């Protein structure tokens, strides 16, 4: 996400760069066109939602260091236990890594490609390659240790 200040009213707007390249970005308050050349990238504090369509761009082509991809489903009890851990890790990332979530029910192509047979499964990618896999609900220190091992 980028943060763009409106030149007309001064309101700060969050803009998705992919959407901005396809559409004209407008201020949410006054409707004026936004000048994206003054954009500042904001630090991600929430897990990025990944789909089959965005997987290549958001995970494999990511330049944000390692990517921790949480493969989950809304009906999965252990997945709901891991969810808050993913939120915490995303808030603590400080651009060292990226946390993303993939709903396996809604995105079967990516789930099949990486042979997700049990959820939650957390995949760690670095430079477009799968470098680690954690299966099952894990405590935060275990997930963080595996992720941080790939930030160096």
The pLDDT score that the predictor gives to residue 127 is: 92
Catalytic residue among 6, 27, 71, 76: 76
Residues comprising the chain, all counted: 152
State pLDDT tens for residues 68-115.
999 999 999 999 999 999 999 998 888 889 999 999 999 999 999 999
Give strand ranges (E) for the chain: 2-5, 12-15, 40-41, 48-50, 67-72, 98-103, 121-126, 129-135
Q: Does residue 36 contact residue 25 with C-beta atoms inside 8 Å?
A: yes
Distance CA 135, CA 132 (A): 10
- Measured distance CA(40)–CA(93) in Å, rounded: 18
Q: Tell me which of 6, 27, 71, 79 is the catalytic residue.
A: 79
Catalytic site residue 79?
A: yes
Pick the CATH number of 48-148 from 2.60.40.10, 3.50.50.60, 3.30.420.40, 3.40.30.10: 3.40.30.10
27 catalytic? Reply is no
**Residues 6 or more apart in contact with residue 32 via CB below 8 angstroms:** 6, 7, 8, 9, 26
The pTM is what?
0.72
* Cβ pair 123, 130 in contact under 8 A: yes
Q: Rounded to 5 degrees, what are φ and ψ at 3?
A: -110, 125
Write the pLDDT tens digit of every residue in 1-54.
677 788 888 888 877 766 666 678 888 899 888 887 655 544 567 899 999 999
Confidence at residue 141, expressed as pLDDT on a 0 to 100 scale: 95
Domain parsing of the chain, residue ranges: 2-41, 48-148
């Amino acid at each position: 996400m980028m943060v763009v200040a409106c030149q007309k009213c001064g309101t700060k707007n969050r803009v998705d760069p992919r959407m901005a390249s396809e559409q004209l970005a407008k201020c949410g308050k006054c409707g004026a066109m936004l000048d994206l050349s003054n954009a500042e990238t904001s630090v991600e504090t929430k897990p990025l939602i990944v789909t089959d369509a965005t997987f290549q761009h958001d995970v494999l082509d990511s330049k944000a260091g390692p990517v921790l991809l949480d493969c989950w489903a809304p009906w999965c009890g252990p997945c709901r236990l891991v969810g808050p851990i993913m939120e915490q890790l995303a808030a603590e990332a400080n651009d060292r890594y990226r946390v993303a979530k993939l709903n396996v029910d809604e995105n079967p192509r990516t789930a099949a490609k990486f042979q997700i047979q049990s959820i939650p499964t957390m995949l760690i990618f670095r430079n477009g390659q799968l470098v680690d896999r954690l299966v099952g609900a894990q405590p935060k220190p275990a997930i963080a240790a595996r992720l941080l091992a790939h930030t160096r």
